Structures are given as C-alpha cells and as structure tokens.
Amino acid sequence: MVTRPLLNRRLDGLGNSIFGVMSARAVATNSVNLGQGFPDVDGPPAIARAAADAVMAGKGNQYPPATGIPELRNAVARHQQRFYGLRYDPDTEVLITAGATEAIAAALLALVEPGDEVIAFEPYYDSYVANIAMAGGTRVPLTLKAPDFRPDLAKLESLITSKTRLLMLNSPHNPTGMVLTREESEAIARIAISRDILVITDEAYEHLTFDTEHVPLATIDGMRGRVVSIGSAGKTFSFTGWKVGWATATPDLISAVRTTKQFLTFVSSGPFQYAVAEALDLPGSYYTEMAADLKAKRDLMAAGLAEIGFAVYEPDGTYFITTDISPLGERDAMEFCRGLPDRAGVVAIPSAVFYDDHPEEGRTLVRFAFCKRPEVLKEALSRLSVLAR
C-alpha cells in the first residue's frame, strides 16, 4: 500500500474542477448549462469539411512536424501580419500547440524557474495557477475588482521584485470580459521594458471583442522581443474540441517553448491543422460577423439578467458575463450556484473560484457563458426569472 500522499504537493487543492462538477449537475437536473465556455453551434461547415477531407486524404494522420505543419505556421504568420502588422518568420517564430492551453503550459514551464514570481491578473483563468505551480513558481496576483475590473497599473509596478520573472497577461480577459485599452497596454509595456521582464499574453479571445479594439502587447514599441503571444483556433473558429493553438515570439523564446512542448504532447491535431490553416485565411467578413453574432448574444443576456435584478458588468469581449447577485438578496455566489440547478434549472459558475488569492472579491459574483443559441439564452433567462424579487 502506498502511504505517502499521491498528488504532487505543488498541485494540492487544484484537483476539483468546478466545471466538471457543474456540468454533471447540469445533466443530472436537465439544466441549461451556462457554466463552461463552449459554443453550441460549430464553426464554418467548409472548415469542418476541410478537416474531414484532410483525414480522408491522409493529411496529418501520422505525426505532423514538431513545430506544426508549414501550411499552418505560414497561415498564423499571415494572420499576425494581416490583423496586427506583426511579422513573424513561420519557420522560427511560430509554434503550433494543442490549443492555447498547451501554449500557456509550455511557455510557463519553459520560462519559469523554481522560486520565480509570476504576476497575473486575478481572477485567473484556471490553468495559470496550475502551470505556475508545476513550474515551481510563485503567483503574484494583480486583483481586478468590480465594477470595471480595470488593472491598477501603479499597483502592478509595485508588485515587481527582483524575483519577478514574467507577467502572465490575458486580454480579452476570462472571466471578467475586460479588454486592455491601448493606453493600458502601453503602460504595461513601459513597465516590462524598464524592469526587464518577459510577458506571456493569452489572446485566446482576440477576435471576440465588441466594438473594442484588441491591442496585442507585441505591437507596442519595444515589446516584440519580450512577448510570447498565444492564440486559439478553438475560440476564433468555434471548434473548441479540435485543440489547435499557437505561440508567436522571437526564435529564442519559441525554441524554449518548443523544448517543453516536445515533452508535453510532442504533436497533436494533425488533420485539424490543415483545416485551421484554411480558416485563418477566411475573409474579414467571417471575423466581423462572428463578433457581431456574439455581441448580440451578450446584449440579450445583459438586458435579460438586468431585468431579473442581477447587477450586470457588461463585458467588452469573451464568452462570459459577470453579474453580482447582491441586488437579488443573495450573499454567497458559491451557495447560489450550487442551488441554482434545482431552483431555476440553470448552471452558472461562482466567480470566487477564479479568485484563488482573494476569494472575498468574488463572493457575490456569478459568471454566465453566453456563447449559446439565442433560444437557449432566452430559455435560461425565462427560467432565471423565478429569482426576480
């Protein structure tokens, strides 16, 4: 019999994903699941067809190249140039990964040494906490607070110590929907340059913004050499199950990230890489219509939730809307979300789970995913109306 604890101590307390628990509750109670962020309509049929064709044509069915197929690396480089004017060499500055998730893990494991400090926005996308722990790093929260969730940049500067290795940034930000402004990005760049720190930018929701400009940090003067930018085909093209993502950075940074990626998945998603290469070249209308469609869903949810009595913090991007349940007479989002499937037949996520260091900031905050068909959102709102006072 094994007598020692089995889980690596660095991961202690990280084992119970709220998403799995809540999704199981959704099924058991026949609830509308607005917990996990995935669309309930697949991406463009022509792109799905391209994936099927690749499988049947024997493209990508065997291990693809370690850095990703050249067609996709070229398409990512074209995308960075087309949308942001950023030039990356597809052979040395682009790495294809198993979703943004692997790019984040590989980058943190590659760049963070035990004892290093990593500053990240809290509430955190959950994998940052785990990956920083796996690397033996220490997370340092820059806490985003309701109602606007804007980062306090003077505070950011004050958090930097001799141990600070990097900033792990996320904009558009999950779960709050905050999108950094150009001024904020410039201020962050000034700090990163003057204190000589690296930045990883998780831009999984780069195209999912609502009348708000997404400014990649790598576009700010002096930043191209110190930023690892991360993208997600799952989010951009509504194929979250395909797990295709990428990182773009200088050859040195990409080579470091590739070294860890090699021992995580080595390679993945062969045939899907061909399909995503096509998707990235879709006309501008695809990108604008996808964002407009999502914006209409945000508006529907924001108005509906406000009418029921939630305080609504309208997001500028992502799949998610954050609400405060205090006006409904509720005091504890965790308890509220646990009871919601039985009370209203809806699943939502208590934002406290994303505030690992300051759970009190999320105590009355609840996150709803709105990347669902309008009829599903309307059904959820109609069910939630039992909460109206």
Ligand X SMILES: Cc1ncc(COP(=O)(O)O)c(C=O)c1O
Q: Which residues bind ligand X (CB under 6 A)?
A: 37, 99-101, 125, 170, 174, 202, 204, 232, 234, 240, 243, 245
| Least Cβ distance, residue 196 to ligand X (angstroms) | 26
Which is closer to ligand X, CB of 69 or CB of 328?
69
Annotate 247-268 with three-state secondary structure: EECCHHHHHHHHHHHCCCCCCC
| Residue 225 or 241 having the CB closest to ligand X | 241
Q: Are 125 and 174 in contact (CB under 8 A)?
A: yes
Nearest approach, Cβ of 204 to ligand X (angstroms)?
A: 4
Residue 14 identity (one-letter amino acid) = L
Q: Rank residues 101 and 164 by Cβ distance to ligand X and give the closer one.
A: 101
Q: What are phi and psi of 51, to 5 degrees?
A: -70, -45
What is the C-alpha separation between 117 and 132, in angstroms, rounded?
Answer: 9
Contact in structure between 95 and 103 (CB atoms under 8 Å): yes
Question: CB 235 → ligand X: shortest distance, Å?
Answer: 6
Which residues make Cβ contacts (< 8 Å) with residue 102, sequence separation at least 6?
243, 245, 261, 264, 265, 268
Measured CA to CA, the distance from residue 10 to residue 237 in angstroms comes to: 34
Contact 351, 175 (CB under 8 A): yes
Give the shortest CB-62-to-ligand X separation in angstroms. Answer: 23
At 312, is the secondary structure helix, strand, or coil?
strand
Q: How far is the CB of 174 from ligand X (least distance, A)?
A: 4
CB of 314 to ligand X, least distance (A): 18
- What are 389's two structure tokens? 């006072």
> Which residue from 69, 132, 150, 143 is spatially nearest to 358, judged by alpha carbons?
143
End-to-end CA distance of the chain: 55
Element (H, E) at 313: strand 311-313
Decide whether 317 or 341 has the Cβ nearer to ligand X. Answer: 317
- Which of 214, 309 has the CB closer to ligand X? 214
**Residue of minimal Cβ distance to ligand X:** 99
Q: Both tokens of residue 246?
A: 């990428």
204 versus 337: smaller Cβ distance to ligand X: 204
Cβ-based nearer residue to ligand X, 79 or 387: 79
Min separation Cβ 369 and ligand X, Å: 10
